[in-house]
Amino acid sequence: MTDQQLREALRALPPASPAPHFTTRVLARTYETSAHTHRRRLPAWAGAAAAALLLALGLGAAERHAAREQRRADLRRETEALRRELADLRQQAQRTETPLYLGGNDQVDVVLDVGAMPIAAALPAHAAGIARER
């Protein structure tokens, strides 16, 4: 039997009639179910508490975001200061008049400016580099 033949056979059947008291039984069961599933209403303060909680969470998130942005700005300023300091140190390292630290104590530090000495011009380049490294 094909699908078309099956459809025609089903259409040829007389309409089904419901069993006696079908509607009454379905409605009675519906009322029973609705009586058992009666929803309890939450007190009014529960809604207010939920709203207050959401507000507090929102404010906390905004505060954390502001603190994070402040920290980023502080880190940017610190990074820029470190860049400037590093540039200054590089400039100082490139100077030819490198002082030579000879030692000292709590009261006096002895430093010798090798570039200002007349012998500095007579030193070989690698010796002058050694003096600068110290």
Distances in Å between the alpha carbon of 42 and those of 37, 49, 51? 15, 11, 14
User: What confidence score (pLDDT) does residue 127 get?
Assistant: 52
User: What confidence score (pLDDT) does residue 28 get?
Assistant: 85
Query: pLDDT tens, 50-100?
Result: 889 988 888 889 999 999 999 999 999 999 999 999 998 888 777 656 678
Instruction: HSE, CB side, 13 Å, CA atoms: give it for residue 75.
Output: 6
pTM of the full predicted structure? 0.36
What percent of the chain is predicted at pLDDT more than 70? 77
Match 């430093």 to its residue by tokens: 111
Asked if residue 22 has pLDDT above 70, the reply is: yes
